[in-house]
Amino acid sequence: MSSSHLSSRGYLGRPRPTDFGLRPVGLWPAAGWAALTWGSFFAFTAAWVSLVGAPSSDSALPKSLGADRSTIALLAVAVLVCVIAPLAEEFFFRGFFFGALQSWRGVWPAALVTGLVFGAIHIGSSDPAYLLPLAYFGFALCALRVVTQSLYPSIGVHALNNSVAFGASQGWQWEIVPATIIAFALIALVLLTIPRLWRPAVAPV
Q: Residue 171: phi, psi to the nearest 5?
A: 75, 20
| Dihedral (CA of 78, 182, 91, 198) sign | negative
The DSSP annotation for 149-198 comes to T-SHHHHHHHHHHHHHHHHHHTT-STTHHHHHHHHHHHHHHHHHHHHHH-
pTM more than 0.75: yes
Per-residue pLDDT of the chain (205 residues; tens, 9 = 90+): 333 344 444 445 678 888 899 999 999 999 999 999 999 999 999 999 999 887 766 666 676 667 778 889 889 999 999 999 999 999 999 999 999 999 888 999 999 999 999 999 999 888 888 999 999 999 999 999 999 999 999 999 999 999 999 999 898 999 999 999 999 999 999 999 887 777 654 444 4
Closest Cα partner for 110 from 134, 85, 145? 145
